[in-house]
Structure 1
Amino acid sequence: MSFKTLTVDELAKKVVNQKDILLLDVRKEEDYQDWKVESDSFNYLNKPYFDLMDGVESIKDDIPEDKDVAVICAKGNSSKMVAEQLVDEGFDNIYSVEGGMRAWSEHLEPVKLGDLEDGGELYQFVRLGKGCLSYMIVSDGEAAIIDATRMADTYINFAEEKGAKVKYVLDTHLHADHISGGRAIADKTGATYYLPPKDAEEVQFEYTPIQDQEEITVGSSKIDVQALYSPGHTLGSTSFIVDDQYLMTGDILFIQSIGRPDLAGKADDWVGDLRETLYERYKELSNDLIVLPAHYSFKEELNEDGSVQEKLGVLFEQNDGLQVEDEQEFRKMVTENLPPQPNSHEKVRMTNMGKETPELEEKREMEIGPNRCAVK
């Protein structure tokens, strides 16, 4: 008898479907505490691999026989050894997660958000291991992708499955926590790559500037993606209003928090822009718009269908970052509640500018760790 394997796609389905399993994480305790697979339905056990090299006797009493046990490590090797030892001890419900946390970081889970006018569809790609959210509009054989991660082929293949050709790729801002897939997708498909010009002054490649109030039409069904200049997270941050139904806020507004203004070292300069966007620009919009952010930070932000979305009016009532009327109090709240900078954030920015071209393994290492785009 041998242990079984579990792909990160299968693990994602267990997260989304609220399955009851034990996740045995065999990474070092500090790595586990910093970043792990998150689910309200999972039970967890962290026991470093080095403590199990001579046997699993110390955890046998913690391993249930009536539910599946998924063993995960950093890259998928140590978990195999621990899983094999558990099987040797007589357990037959043991799985090793293929590729470990590195593969988990790269998995994208597509969720259909709804139908648009004249047969169009809108999809959200949830990067469960990193908290990144990206989007695809499909309409009449054309596709537009917003805030793509570096897993370019996932989007291209998905569009092909939907019978669509990628025509536009857009980034709401110059990302600092993950490597954008926008340029790679454009290179592979011939799509037009849009960036906010105020974030693109130092980029080393050709792009098309997206301007305030500019409209881009996807497909002949006239689904408009309207640009709304909304600085604060970065100087060029731009939101997109899709089909008069959805507000793609980038890293300005999240479901339970607001964006941080310091990833380019400009917190004191940009906090005023952040407040103006949140408390003035967004206030002028319809409360019925459904907010679709570029990230989420808390597993509670995931809805039952696996999506991350909420009406703007609800956020103005419930999001703590939108309840601070005093400007100085808001400034203090933002600048004094900044979490640690994302891993390799400056190198990620340089990569997204085209100033650095790291190899794949280095890109993976640069992105290791949780999402840290929000004010906590």
Structure 2
Amino acid sequence: MTAAELKGITAGELTKKIINKNELFILDVRNDSDFQDWRIEGTNIEMINAPYFDLIDGVDAIIDKIPDDKEVVVVCAKEGSSLFVAEQLVEQGKHHVSYLVGGMKAWSEHLEPVLAGDLKDSGAIYQFVRIGKGCLSYMIVSGGEAAVIDTLRMTEVMEDFAREKNAVIKHTLDTHLHADHISGGLKLAQRTGAAYWLPPKDADEVVFSYNKLEEHAEITVGNTSIHIQPIYSPGHTIGSTSLLVDNQYLLSGDILFVQSIGRPDLAGKAEDWVSDLRDTLYNRYKQLPEDLIVLPAHFGKATELGEGGKVSARLGDLFKENPGLNMENELEFRKAVTENLPPQPNAYQEIRQVNMGKMTPTDEEQRDMEIGPNRCAIHDK
């Protein structure tokens, strides 16, 4: 292969390789601080960081570290630097080299649809894995209708997918007021004529109209009577609301994850909301059937990706294995969720303002606000 024949790999193609646990070698040429803050992860990934500015005059210093027997992907912020370095590697005789098209910005925005499960009468629930940021959105499809939960600002992905499934989007829901990413729920509702639902206790400062996502709300998808039952579950936010779907699935929002639990501090109310968080996890969730399949709004690590890339777990198993559900001492729990937390998400205060409708940043500003990992869990890195 010559530099002229060098090919790029898209975020979608790279996602499938990671989901399939293919062996990869990633050369990340961003600066060290950006690399330490946020990087591509996977089960069979070997990786080194060599800043682009150290490679402008050549790749001799790292050439011996680049394997000949693995696929090599060069990664940078936007694409240009990785293309330059990949070309140099090829010129030095390295094979199986590609560069990430669109860089980490494209990686941050890719959504991978995964079948999360079938519904009892007909239809299905799909999980959209935002692998570069750890966000999880959902679409329930039944009887020619769809409901979208915790959707992201890339709403065209949801519109296209609904069209593929011959479904009309009738509802969009946010389980809470998000602080780590910009919601696409209201935007998608406006584009499709759907009803937009938001927990009222999180909506004190919003400047738009919405339907109140409360426990008595009636939300039905399709003529097969697939019901979405809201369950008030505060703790991550004061309004956090889980969704029981078809009596099979528990969409837990940012309250409960596969390997951790939600943090209560992103609205500056950690001390106030700790008791709510514990009550939700140790009392409200305990009253639910253990066979429910938990579908969270985030994941923290690539190890949480299961078969086909799906992130899910049986509720009863989480009560046995999730460390956040096994702190019997209330003081220990309070300390775990208020002290030594990971850094807060990038621009999280501004993101909350956007999700309230108080700020309207440009598309590029929105991308910059969301750069980095989600960090909604107490045990995230």
Q: Same fold (TM over 0.5)?
A: yes
Structure 2 segments unaligned to the other structure (5+ residues): none
Q: Distance in 2 between matches of 1:138 and 1:166?
A: 9
The one of 269, 280, 288 equivalent to 1:266 is 269
**Structure 1 residue 299: Cα displacement:** 1.7
The more displaced of 189-198 and 203-212 is 203-212
Aligned partner letter, 1:341: Q
Q: What is the aligned-residue RMSD (CA, Å)? A: 0.9
Q: Distance in 1 between matches of 2:218 and 2:296?
A: 20
Question: SS of the residue aligned with 1:122?
Answer: strand
Q: Distance in 2 between matches of 1:9 and 1:305?
A: 14
Structure 1 segments unaligned to the other structure (5+ residues): none
Q: Residues 201-256 of structure 1: CA distance to partner in whole angstroms, max 9, x if unpaired?
A: 11111111111142311000111100000000000000000000000010001111
Q: Quick check: 1:117–1:221 contact (8 Å CA) kept in 2? A: no
**Structure 1 residue 170: Cα displacement:** 0.3
With the length of structure 1 as denominator, give the TM-score of the two structures.
0.98
Question: SS of the residue aligned with 1:118?
Answer: coil
The one of 339, 342, 345 equivalent to 1:339 is 342
**Structure 1 residue 74: Cα displacement:** 0.4
Question: 1:191-270 to 2 correspondence within 5 Å?
Answer: 191-270=194-273
Question: 1:340-359 to 2 correspondence within 5 Å?
Answer: 340-359=343-362
Aligned partner letter, 2:288: L
**Structure 1 residue 149: Cα displacement:** 0.8
With the length of structure 2 as denominator, give the TM-score of the two structures.
0.97
Q: Quick check: 2:26–2:75 contact (8 Å CA) kept in 1? A: yes
Percent identity, please: 60
Q: Which residue of 1 aligns with 2:25?
A: 22
The more displaced of 99-108 and 89-98 is 89-98
Q: Which residue of 2 aligns with 1:178?
A: 181
The structure 1 segments of at least 4 consecutive aligned residues displaced by more than 2 Å after TM superposition are none
Question: 1:60-209 to 2 correspondence within 5 Å?
Answer: 60-209=63-212
Total equivalences in the alignment: 376
Q: Residues 44-70 of structure 1: CA distance to partner in whole angstroms, max 9, x if unpaired?
A: 121110010001111111122222111
**Structure 1 residue 91: Cα displacement:** 2.2
Q: Distance in 1 between matches of 2:127 and 2:285?
A: 22
Aligned partner letter, 2:198: L
The more displaced of 57-66 and 358-367 is 57-66
Q: Quick check: 1:246–1:289 contact (8 Å CA) kept in 2? A: yes
Q: Quick check: 2:42–2:303 contact (8 Å CA) kept in 1? A: no
Aligned partner letter, 2:317: V
